[in-house]
């Protein structure tokens, strides 16, 4: 096949693809990201209890470097871990010459806020609550404006470089630190 026929055929296919009037969504065909395992990040506050050691218990904020400063053992990496993994890491370091059979529990005291932007009545920063969905975030922001496109959502997860576009579903999970943006509809 000659090159000009290949180019014409490719152009025709591209034009036919553009005639649908819809742009593909980045997340279409894939389910929304799961909120099953929450990973700690800078800005989260954790409550740590060390059984039998009141001086080794308290509230700690994860620093921008992703660590907490814990008594006796110093800096402990917390970012990127689940709460159970952080408790095991602290137990292991305390058991290394500081305490006999330490038992540590870690709970998230305060999550990073979520940001709801775009075509909502009150865009801004809102506190995260467990089990928050996109519809719950819209409710916190006092609902959609009359111009809102309620069929898709732009989502930027904490630590990601850019937004992803997903079809709007009622049970779409929101994670701490998410930036949620709703665009304007055209008709």
Domain with CATH 3.30.1950.10 in the chain: 45-110
* Residue 12 DSSP SS3: helix
45-110 homologous superfamily: wza like domain (3.30.1950.10)
Residue closest to 182 by CA, chosen among 40, 172, 110: 172
Q: Please report, to the nearest 10 degrees, the dihedral formed by the alpha carbons of residues 86, 87, 90, 95 taken in order.
A: -140
Fold of 112-187: Outer membrane lipoprotein wza fold like (3.10.560)
Biggest alpha carbon–alpha carbon distance for the chain:
81
Per-residue pLDDT of the chain (187 residues; tens, 9 = 90+): 554 444 444 444 444 444 433 333 444 444 444 444 678 888 899 999 999 999 999 999 999 999 999 999 999 999 999 999 999 999 999 999 899 999 999 999 988 899 999 999 999 999 998 889 999 999 999 999 999 999 999 999 877 889 999 998 878 899 888 999 999 988 7
Answer yes or no: pTM beyond 0.85. no
């Amino acid at each position: 096949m000659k090159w000009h026929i290949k180019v014409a055929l490719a152009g025709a296919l591209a034009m036919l693809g553009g005639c649908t009037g819809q742009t593909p969504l980045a997340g279409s065909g894939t389910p929304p990201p799961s909120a099953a395992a929450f990973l700690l990040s800078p800005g989260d506050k954790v409550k740590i209890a060390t059984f039998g050691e009141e001086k080794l218990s308290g509230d700690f904020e994860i620093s921008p470097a992703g660590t907490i400063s814990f008594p006796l053992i110093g800096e402990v990496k917390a970012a990127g871990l689940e709460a159970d993994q952080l408790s095991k890491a602290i137990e292991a370091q305390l058991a290394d010459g500081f305490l006999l059979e330490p038992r540590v529990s870690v709970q998230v005291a305060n999550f990073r806020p979520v940001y709801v932007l775009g075509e909502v009545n009150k865009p801004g920063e809102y506190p995260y609550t467990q089990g928050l969905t996109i519809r719950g975030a819209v409710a916190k922001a006092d609902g959609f404006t009359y111009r809102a496109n309620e069929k898709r959502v732009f989502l930027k997860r904490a630590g990601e470089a850019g937004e992803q576009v997903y079809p709007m579903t009622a049970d779409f999970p929101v994670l701490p630190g998410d930036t949620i943006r709703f665009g304007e509809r055209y008709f």
